[in-house]
Structure 1
């Protein structure tokens, strides 16, 4: 453990600090500090080797292993006192940090979650009135969650009600970031929420749960945007891969609530997505409201009568 250097950073909250020169990861939580010596090639998450540590809880270990996936992409970030504050960086972009503490989930597409034993199924919910449950840990975010659901219910034929005995329902769970499965899965379906998730992020995740992918992954995107691959964090290129999917016969919507922002997953603070000159009143990557095309997409997938205000 001689290569590990202790930092004086405060440990009042959960934090993870990485020093690339010594391959040392310093993990702190509630004043408890543990130093971990890593072996292997940290530039390739698939080659990370042995891990020697003092005794750690299961949650802390899961957090560490998940955070390691991001370390190579943070080595060019500003380093205060030679350290990279991995979690602090990720908290600033909540859709880059999914559920880090649950072993059965893996990062898929920024704010999408896939189970390791079952791929997400893009399918429609069998009802327009969807049950939900808010975990006790998120009780203080009830107002935000209800506001996120209201963004949909006010403009579509979908509604939400608190679960009583329904088998299929959305469970809003505490997390470190925003994440959701894509489409109906059946049974208890988690939607992960962390402190950085604003109302618009919540609506975005609910739309994923309803079956909608990111707008910028459409096959016809080249007519509207340019993806700046050289600016994307190494290993995050998959977030920008095109997907063949239902467009519902609607034009590309660069201001959709389901579209990435111009600097999402940027390795150098430069744009990862550039618009091809479309003039819009709203910014790309906005999370303020559903656009008319967002509303129309929901209507076409769920057979809504589009009579509500847009």
Structure 2
């Protein structure tokens, strides 16, 4: 343990933490402790209150001008080795501890899916993780440099980092699924009329997976409520089910990533537990 700490601090002192993600021998848990009661929605919406970006659903960035090679939305490309390598850069504005949290959040994708966030070399399409004004991301591969904003004072939490990266892989929020009315009730009377568009349904592919209250993509009860804490979203039939409190990717989130990118077979070979996921 002490050796791992010493190696990490040495990297910090030498200023090498920007050189390569996922440093060998690092015990990420030493640097990434965070409160268990983090409310994902409150953090994201608070961070984005003063954002100058055009956002829908609270944290989905909309690109108004796209070049000819862009599309909405594109998946990231799978390599011949079966991996989906997503080029990315991480801003030097993040502290060493911020970097550790970001890398730990990425490790879950690396360990349980075929997605790999890799340092960008000359790729045209890539993610730029930045200490921006809020927590937000585009949906899927938008083309060119696309910012994933992770304000270091509000957004560098495991659940929020994974939430925004999941947007970048192509996923919308759980509460906007086409079948959501079977699982949650939207209390329109507690939502400002100008915010109601954030609850528009997305008629996308559910990949044959069930609605998931514990998904890292599910917003909390008071999201967009204008009534001092009254619920804008209530789970049904049991109104006490927890939503918006996920600490990270759920098993269903992981399953969806592998199904969207056709990587169930690869993920199963890497982790036997993945084989037990329904449909993988």
TM-score (norm 1): 0.64
Task: Indicate the residue corresponding to 1:188 in structure 2.
Answer: 145
**2:72 aligned to which of 102, 121, 124:** 121
The answer to which structure has the higher helix fraction is: 2
Corresponding residue SS for 1:93: helix
Q: Secondary structure of 1:208's partner?
A: helix
Shift of 1:176: 2.7
1:120 and 1:255 map into 2 onto residues whose CA distance is: 30
| Alignment correspondent of 2:44 | 94
Moved over 6 A (4+): none
Shift of residue 139, structure 1, vs aligned partner: 4.2
Map of 2:236 onto structure 1: 276
Instruction: State how far apart, in whole Å, the 2-side matches of 1:181 and 1:120 are.
Output: 12
Highest RCO, 1 vs 2 (Cα 8 Å, sep ≥ 6): 2
1: CA distance, partners of 2:197 / 2:106: 29
> Which SS does the other structure have where 2:122 is aligned?
coil
Equivalent positions of 1:211-226 (< 5 A) are 211-226=170-185
Question: How big is the shift at 1:122?
Answer: 2.0
Change (3 A) 1:100 1:288: same
Contact 2:71–2:143 (8 Å) recurs in 1:
no
Larger mean Cα displacement after TM superposition, 92-101 or 115-124: 92-101
Q: Is the 8 A contact 1:98 1:112 kept in 2?
A: no
Structure 1 SS opposite 2:185: strand
Local SS of the residue matching 2:94: helix
Please report how far the alpha carbon of residue 259 of structure 1 lies from its aligned counterpart in structure 2 after TM superposition. 0.9
Residue 134 (str. 1) matches residue 122 (str. 2): no
Is contact 1:99-1:192 (8 Å) kept? no
2:249 pairs with 1:299: no
In the alignment, which residue of structure 2 is the partner of 1:81?
A: none
SS in 2 for 1:115: coil
Q: How many Å separate the matches in 2 of 1:183 and 1:143?
A: 24
CA RMSD, aligned part only?
2.4
**Conservation of the 8 A alpha-carbon contact between 1:121 and 1:185:** yes
Structure 1 residue 137, shift from structure 2 partner: 1.4
Does the residue aligned with 1:236 lie in a helix, a strand or coil? helix
Higher strand share: 1
CA distance in 2: counterparts of 1:236 and 1:120, whole angstroms: 27
Deviation per residue, 1:111-135 (Å, 9 max, x gap): 1111233497122111302121111
Please, what TM-score do these two structures have when normalized by structure 2? Answer: 0.71
| 1:207 counterpart SS class | helix
User: Counterpart in 2 of 1:71?
Assistant: none
